[in-house]
Structure 1
Amino acid sequence: MNWPNQNKWIVGGFSLTLLLMGLVSLLSYKNIIALRENANKVQSTYEIINNLSDFYASMTVAESGRRGYIATGNKPELERHLKAVQQMQTELSLLQKQFAHAPLPQQEQVTQLQLLVRQRLVLLKQSIDLYKKNPLDTLTQLSITEKSVRLREQILVILAQIKSEEKKLLQSWLYTSRSHIQSRVILSIFGTILSFVVIDAVFLILYYQWKKHQEITIIQQNIQHEKELIELKSKLFSMISHEFRTPLSVILSSAQLLENNFSKEADIKLLKNLDRIQSSAKLMNQFLTDLLILTRAESGNLEHNLEIIDIESFCLNLVEDIQLIASEKHQIKLISENFCHKIALDEKLLYSILSNVLINAIKYSPNGGEIYLILKCEATKTIFQIQDQGIGIISEDLPKIYQPFYRGQNVEKIMGTGLGLAVVKKCLECYHGTIDVESKVGLGTRFTITIPDQKSRS
């Protein structure tokens, strides 16, 4: 069967176009797979870092409980210590599972960490047993404490090494992902452009052949052929529009991701950007944490476990943690206006509430500014006031600051997600608590958080 030249060009053009479209779709599919794999690796790294942070927090609580028990003989402090020890062992087991398929050096680090933790737990148990037998034997207690502190320092070194390795791996995955995405986006764009070039060439050839052929035909035949050509163009462009929509969407999203994550000045500012990467990783971790809390709160699955805590000790530990973030640029001061006894609260939720407000105070305060955490305890409620000397909040923004992702008009140049105060609001709902704000632009802001007595509600 002898096909006209026009039909041959149409079939050839369609075949080549479909081949190029298939290639673009394949590259787009590989791009999606690579992004998913990278996301899984990043998620795994964040889980490890979160687990390390939880382990450190449990270790701190265990030591605090032991010291509280030895200092006061208070059994709730002993129970808090035992609960924290159990949590440490759980988190350590999870850490071992997470590193089950890791390289040998990392597995050895985890093994060494387990050994040091076991040794320290033995010392903590000896300290408690000694106190039960002879509370006045302070010399032996001091010796045990010194050994425990040395082990703690070794544990912290290993934790820092593991975190450092995980951050390096995260940086490597991000760099590899950017390189792959860049090459695949270029190939996808090239394939798309080439497809359009082939289509245009096919139609150009068809047009010239049709014109040459119709020069010797009557006007009616010319009109008929023109209608057929118009119909063919319509079908072809409809098909192209449908088939390219998905790969073009992938190309666009990948290009946006590349633009947001790739800097042309990366080689020039490498050292500076390394610090930015670390800061961004922390912000991201905070963002994920805040987003998880919001999601659980909105679905009604946010855990709320009351436990008796020493609120002054808790605030001291919190200030120490936040001061590490603030470094020397800001000074955080704790003021306790009256005697604060032990109260029933969820320690993790309270930490999330106060840390978010304190971090905001640091973020929006000038270098050298002082930030105050004021603690007030009353018979039926506990009040926390956080006061800064920062840029303040515009009055128009005050009713909206607790909305997720909302950011004020005067903070455009300051990095943030707009989730912090939304998380605070959701956590306070678990306590039936309130948050009030007073702010003057250029002078500072004061947040007042009020939490009613939880025993009367339990």
Structure 2
Amino acid sequence: MKGAFRGKWIPAGFCLALILVASISALSYRNARRLTNNAEQLRQSNEKLQIISGLSISLAYTEFRRVDHLQLGGLSELKDYQTTIQSLKLQLAKLNQFPIRLAKQQQWLATLNALTDRREALFQQLIEQQQSQKPNMMTPEALVTQIRQNQSSMHQIIAALQANEEAFLEGQAAYFQTGFENRLLLELVGALSTFVLLVGIYSVASYQKTKRQQAEARQQSLAQAKALSELKLQFFSLISHEFRTPLSHILGSAQLLEETLKSVVEPAKLKNLYRIQASAKLVTQLLNDVLTLARADAGKLEYNPSQVEIQTFCLNLIEDFHLLNEPQHAIKFSQQGDRTHAWMDARLMYSVLSNLLSNAIKYSPPSSTITFTLITAVEAIAFRVKDEGIGIAKEDLAELYNPFVRGKNAQRAIGTGLGLTVVKKCLDLHQGQISVESELGIGTTFTVSIPQGSDG
């Protein structure tokens, strides 16, 4: 389930990247449309300002010519002035074509149109008065006064329109600048976010690929190691089977010869026969140890615990040693605690304790005592084997449980260096522990402990 979820990270990340790019593109497009509309409004506002400026120039021209000068001037002067009025009306017509944003703008334009029409009518009256040389309903002074009032009102409205457009233009320019900056920022943030997301997806994909390759390499290595262990186990099983039978024959024949010749041959002359027996036992033990280690390495060392009566188990072990070995060493057994049964694999623990007792006998002087102590408690049981032998150097303790490793002072004794390795493998299956205390020339004490339940 977890692996399947991890496998969806990459497509999910790509989908997220596509959604992010699409969202940023949509926002950028909307922002671009707004900027385009804003630019169009800026163009229109700029044209309106140009028209309003033209209106101001036209009014300034009429003001420059001055009405009283026109009154005293000829008919051609008045007609030129009328042409200027027509120019004003054309400019107003252009101004009226633009969209109206505010109600007051429409009001201003309507008023300005009315004032322009009124101005045209006043100048028409002034022209007619010049042409007919007849008194009008209004005196020339009254007409001039109304024209000036009209001009002042038009100035005010044009100034208001110009101020309004300039304010709008300034606001639109600021909005355009802000929108442009926001678009740049949005596109920059979007590009960076997309880049970071894609880099993250690539990193996750690379990490998963590396982990997968490592897992495949690890599985391949484990498979090769397992296959090698299987081959090694098969090889040692075959070797052990092929050698056990002739070794049993050799050992049995040597023991039979010993029994036959013991009464007729001096003990000194049986030395070579004893060597044959010792060598046969050594090779048999070596085969047993190698086969046990091969099974342990292949994970096929069987562990079948059961409730074992531990005192009887220990006494049977000691009896076997007395039967198989010359009674040159005394094995002193004692028990501490009243526990009677223990949960353990009797076959494996027999191998553990027989190796420890064999080493104690091997590295101790003749006629010395081997102390074998059983310690029982609710939470664990312990076996302690103490000898009076040559001891173990401190520098050799660190590699004591490695295969084929022997102490520097133990090279003269016959051995393979596999016994303690077998002990450690068997104890690991029991989740047990082993400790050692040793002093050169005084002896060594091995203590093996096995955890127990509270109902044993």
Query: Which interval holds the TM-score relative to the shorter structure?
Result: 0.3 to 0.5
TM-score, length basis structure 2: 0.43
TM-score, length basis structure 1: 0.42
Please tell me whether Structure 1 or Structure 2 has the larger radius of gyration of its CA atoms: 2
